[in-house]
Structure 1
Amino acid sequence: MSTLQIGSYSHIIKPENVESVNTMVDAALSDLVAIEKEVGEAYGNRAELVKAAKQLEGEIKLLEAGAFMKIGVDNTVEIDGNKVKLANAEMRDMYRRHVSREPRSQLTSIEADLAQVECQIALMKDRWDILKQSTNLIEARAWAQGHLLKFLSSKG
């Protein structure tokens, strides 16, 4: 092959360009592994939060069921040392929420944390998709470089 033909490809197959592509491939793969690790940790956190939320939901149901069992025959209950008559469904609902206010507050906090973790997971997945696209472009460049080197070496 003439020098002119090899020369037209020299900018692609320069040793520093080959090394640059190899460095980019290594960096991109490292970044992909790091993001996958972060996503895995976030899913672990999400699982813990979902478990805690489900446990609190069960606790709330038990507290509220126990509260209804304490309603007297005359529809009265004791709230903070005072007897209160639960005259209608709205009052009973208020009593139910009063009894379960602490675990409901904890549940709200856990649900907020869960929403935050889910947003983080979505952002990490977006970063992963963008990085994967970049990695695919780098991979294509490396493939073209490698095949060009192979072709040129076979033409000797």
Structure 2
Amino acid sequence: MTMYINILKPEELQMTLQQLDAAAQDVINAGQAREEAYGNKADLVKQRTTLKTDVDLTESEAIMNIKGEGKSAYAEMPGGEKVYLTNETAREAYRKMASQEQRKSLALVEADINALEVIYYQASDKWQTVKAASDAIQAKANLQAAMLTFMAKQG
């Protein structure tokens, strides 16, 4: 019975209450960090979609600016220089060159999204760890409450 009495000492009960308060705050903080990471991702996904559309439009415009046909197809570069686009590889390079700025921006946004994914998974892992610790403290509090109830009934 002494073992039971030790866990029911006022300082033990007070410590459990403090642990419950701290655990609740930890769960809230970890949850907010997870939500923040997810919220930032939504903005970046919107940017990514816009940039992909910009890339498509710029590349379509570049293709439409190709003059001539077949082996005589060419494009005029910003300095007025003619670049012949005699095969698919050359046309692909021209198309990608026309959209290089948008592609760079898109790559940066995608890198940010990937970094946020890592942050989100780290925050989720932390939340799960904090939640498990909180559950253990809650179990201890439930045990103490049950023991106090039992002892009160014994009278």
Same fold? TM cut 0.5: yes
Q: Give the distance between the partners of 2:104 and 2:28, measured in 1 at CA.
A: 37
1:20-59 aligned within 5 A = 20-59=15-54
Q: Give the distance between the partners of 1:45 and 1:79, measured in 2 at CA.
A: 39
The Cα shift of 1:139 comes to: 0.7
Cross-structure match for 1:76: 74
Cross-structure match for 2:113: 114
Cross-structure match for 1:11: 6
Alpha-carbon RMSD across the aligned residues, in angstroms, is 0.9
Number of aligned residue pairs: give it.
151
Cross-structure match for 1:90: 89
Q: Give the distance between the partners of 1:132 and 1:112, measured in 2 at CA.
A: 30
- Give the secondary-structure state (helix, strand or coil) at the position aligned to 1:9: helix
The Cα shift of 1:35 comes to: 1.1
The Cα shift of 1:101 comes to: 0.3
Identity across aligned pairs (percent)?
34
Q: Which amino acid aligns with 1:75?
A: A
CA shift digits 1:87-126 (9 cap, x unpaired): 1000000001100000100011111111000000000100
Q: Give the distance between the partners of 1:37 and 1:112, measured in 2 at CA.
A: 23
Query: What are structure 2's unaligned runs of at least 5 residues?
Result: none
